[in-house]
Structure 1
């Protein structure tokens, strides 16, 4: 049978196996779990699954064959220091996985066909975009690589989904004005949150994390947590933004009353009602495009958007330049039409 013991504050799993000559020998492996009450419960679960495996007549190949749910629980323990957003992504990816594969399934029994069905489920039943599916399969890929490194499985069989090139979708002023007008009449908190994103181009997570103590009306700066770079950044509290925030009644605690992105479903309900197809991240792209169109320098735009590298910022300049070229082409064709000139498509 199997047993759990502690060594230098870390829990280990020990069990006996028979070698090719029928001789029993003990093997043990670190569970990489600190010895505490909560982890003892998980270790007991691992021990039970190991004992069930030992009672099978099949020859053992791996140190332990765990169920999917137990392996994932161990994985979250190891990844306890990741950001909340990253952990939430892990949980959502796991939820999609277990909508197809039973959490009780032994991890070594999961097949390529089942994982292909997971991808199909996300695409056809959940209606997720290719890039979103790619993001979740990357999270599952990280989980599978960890199981492989712990010798729980032989290989990583998560399918790799290549992302489509991301297009820049901006919200025209007339559409944005309509959206804000609807929200202003319906819910002032929703209106404030969306208008704040419009005025700052903040990532949703950055805006949700803001407290009033992050806003300094004396130095005219907002101190925010850069969720991409994992550092603190500053954003200028320019006049329109300052006046907007100054109108808020409460100036203690969180600026916006939303716990996380799951609390922002009102946006998608509004998009459905208005027949628009803009994401919340489209607001950030709209802000970036406005900076470019108003001749803000590459360096200043990069600073305001808090991009990791200039290549990301340059995408908006390329996009804006293509728009400008399109407008110039329109002018040429209008001149031709006004002069009753005919344009022919010539081959060669």
Structure 2
């Protein structure tokens, strides 16, 4: 769903970077060619846009791109090549990651002066947690995708001769690459059983959500965007047609927004398994019992399934925090129990909401569902993603079956 356009007090649609203050003054925020954020003001929108055009003329006419900063180049690249092609939440996410992790590092350097060693040092510092920020290899890959695209665009425009990010992640992934590890069937049951048997209502309230997550494989944004209108108890299906995300605002606050899913393949129907159906009915009773409002509206959608007490959908960060708290509490009790029983504890590994999606996909592969069917249920845009999981599971099953060969007598 398209982002709601911001308007001034006369109902006129404002462009990207334009904003009207409460006193009626207009403001335009932009990035200059040195990569610095600048702001101009005007009493009228017409005058403001005249100034904008002058800025663009000075910015792009006769500029010596060989001296342009990486920050300025990235923002220009995003504005001219990506803005109209990406979903709002994706565009925002790209810019956020750049501002968080690149802007004040190599972003300040002139693009022509950036060498491979500068990128390697920045990545190494992040992996080691230098300066108080420690990032995972997955986050570094995300950042590298942004850098790689910006540098490739610079190469294509003859600004630089070589892309310093080419194959750079090979130097980090050899030792740090970790496959997404799905929960085993036993770990999955231990996780749900701990929640079901908990006397802490702050934990127990999430039981339906986690059962639905583990029984549908929905992405966390898709799961939290579900409304009761998406569930058909008679046909036993869930319709997936939207996702929820946080959209930063001009005042630096964030609001929840609804959009279409990640890819066209993500618009799909998912079978409603018996346990999932039971969990959803339990959630409906729980909402009624707690008198949770169902009229909270986000971009025309309301009647959300998984919400806070005030009726607004949960946010993904909160769900990941809950998972972490549950795993920590469950493992602490297991350590005590194992000590009393004089055995090694069976601990559940730390995981995120996305691992629940991976776990569901793994369960389907273990049960030998058709690969194409798995792809459709998961909403994978590329069947390669499905095949990678299927092949991994098949290989593990083969290794287990191979042990049976040891019982075969040759002579």
TM-score (ref. length: structure 2): 0.58
Of stretches 155-164 and 196-205 in structure 1, the one that deviates more from structure 2 is 155-164
CA contact (8 A) 1:90 1:140 kept: no
Distance, in Å, in 2 between the alignment partners of 1:330 and 1:154 is 56
CA contact (8 A) 1:93 1:137 kept: no
Q: What secondary structure does 1:41 align onto?
A: strand
CA contact (8 A) 2:66 2:111 kept: no
Q: Verify: 1:41 aligned to 2:28, yes or no.
A: yes
Q: Which residue of 2 is the match for residue 242 of structure 1?
A: 277
After TM superposition, give the deviation of residue 199 of structure 1 in Å: 0.8
Cα shift readout 1:145-196 (whole Å, capped 9, x = no counterpart):
4566788x54644463146677352212222222223344242343333221
After TM superposition, give the deviation of residue 197 of structure 1 in Å: 1.2
CA contact (8 A) 2:266 2:379 kept: no
Q: Verify: 1:265 aligned to 2:336, yes or no.
A: no
Q: What secondary structure does 1:254 align onto?
A: coil
Q: Where in structure 2 are the equivalents of 1:20-35 lying within 5 Å?
A: none
Q: What secondary structure does 1:42 align onto?
A: strand
Q: Aligned to 1:289, which of 362, 372, 376? A: 362
CA contact (8 A) 2:231 2:237 kept: yes
Q: Where in structure 2 are the equivalents of 1:91-102 lying within 5 Å?
A: 91-98=96-103, 100-101=105-106
Distance 1:149 1:269, change over 3 A: farther
Q: Aligned to 1:219, which of 235, 239, 248? A: 235
After TM superposition, give the deviation of residue 198 of structure 1 in Å: 0.7
Q: What secondary structure does 1:234 align onto?
A: strand
After TM superposition, give the deviation of residue 245 of structure 1 in Å: 0.7
Distance 1:301 1:44, change over 3 A: closer
- Structure 1 spans left out of the alignment, 5+ residues: 1-32, 51-58, 342-348
Distance, in Å, in 2 between the alignment partners of 1:324 and 1:272 is 30
Distance 1:308 1:270, change over 3 A: same
Distance 1:111 1:207, change over 3 A: same
Distance, in Å, in 2 between the alignment partners of 1:44 and 1:270 is 44
Distance 1:303 1:147, change over 3 A: same
Distance, in Å, in 2 between the alignment partners of 1:65 and 1:323 is 51
Q: Aligned to 2:220, which of 197, 201, 204? A: 204
After TM superposition, give the deviation of residue 96 of structure 1 in Å: 1.7
Q: What secondary structure does 2:401 align onto?
A: helix
Distance 1:99 1:42, change over 3 A: closer
State which structure, 1 or 2, has the greater radius of gyration over its C-alpha atoms: 1
Q: Which residue of 1 is the match for residue 391 of structure 2?
A: 318
Distance, in Å, in 2 between the alignment partners of 1:230 and 1:37 is 35
Q: Where in structure 2 are the equivalents of 1:84-123 lying within 5 Å?
A: 84-85=89-90, 87-98=92-103, 100-101=105-106, 105=108, 107-108=110-111, 111-112=114-115, 113-123=117-127
CA contact (8 A) 2:68 2:110 kept: yes
Higher RCO by CA contacts (8 Å cutoff, separation 6 or greater): 2
Distance, in Å, in 2 between the alignment partners of 1:43 and 1:135 is 25
After TM superposition, give the deviation of residue 223 of structure 1 in Å: 1.5
After TM superposition, give the deviation of residue 238 of structure 1 in Å: 3.3
Cα shift readout 1:38-64 (whole Å, capped 9, x = no counterpart):
4962358569979xxxxxxxx973398
Q: Aligned to 1:134, which of 115, 120, 141? A: 141
Distance 1:314 1:270, change over 3 A: same
- May I ask how many residue pairs the two structures share in their alignment? 294
TM-score (ref. length: structure 1): 0.67
Q: Which residue of 1 is the match for residue 207 of structure 2?
A: 191
Distance, in Å, in 2 between the alignment partners of 1:124 and 1:117 is 10
Distance, in Å, in 2 between the alignment partners of 1:99 and 1:269 is 33
Distance 1:220 1:161, change over 3 A: same
Distance, in Å, in 2 between the alignment partners of 1:67 and 1:286 is 39
Of stretches 203-212 and 82-91 in structure 1, the one that deviates more from structure 2 is 82-91
